[in-house]
Amino acid sequence: MRRDIFQAIADPTRRGIIALIALQSMTPNAIAENFNTTRQAVSKHLRILTECELVKQEHHGREIYYTLEIEKMKEIDQWLEQYRKIWETRFNQLDDLLLTIKTQKNEK
């Protein structure tokens, strides 16, 4: 079953895993040490992240390392960009309003 990348990032543990491996490749055991959960639960999260193509596996000898797929993360960023523009416009409008209020208050 193909999963949606937004399903993957909806879970706080998976977001935590993404944050960890954004800094460096890690083995499942190293990842699991950062969470108060079982190794099996971390493996399930890694499987979902892999299915969504947000992480990839790299074999180094007998160890499997997980790394972040930056290109896939860009898809999330592109989707968020449309909302970022709306937020920035609203923040700018709020800044203008606050400046107007402050100016009017200082004139009194």
| pLDDT tops 90 at residue 25 | yes
State the pTM of this model.
0.75
Residue 65's nearest CA partner among 28, 40, 33 is 28
* Residue 75 structure tokens: 């898809």
- pLDDT tens digits, 75-95: 888 888 989 889 999 999 999
The CB density around residue 73, as the number of other CB atoms within 10 Å, is: 15
| pLDDT tops 70 at residue 19 | yes
* Residue 84 structure tokens: 């970022």
- pLDDT tens digits, 32-47: 999 999 999 999 999 9
| Residue 104: predicted pLDDT | 87
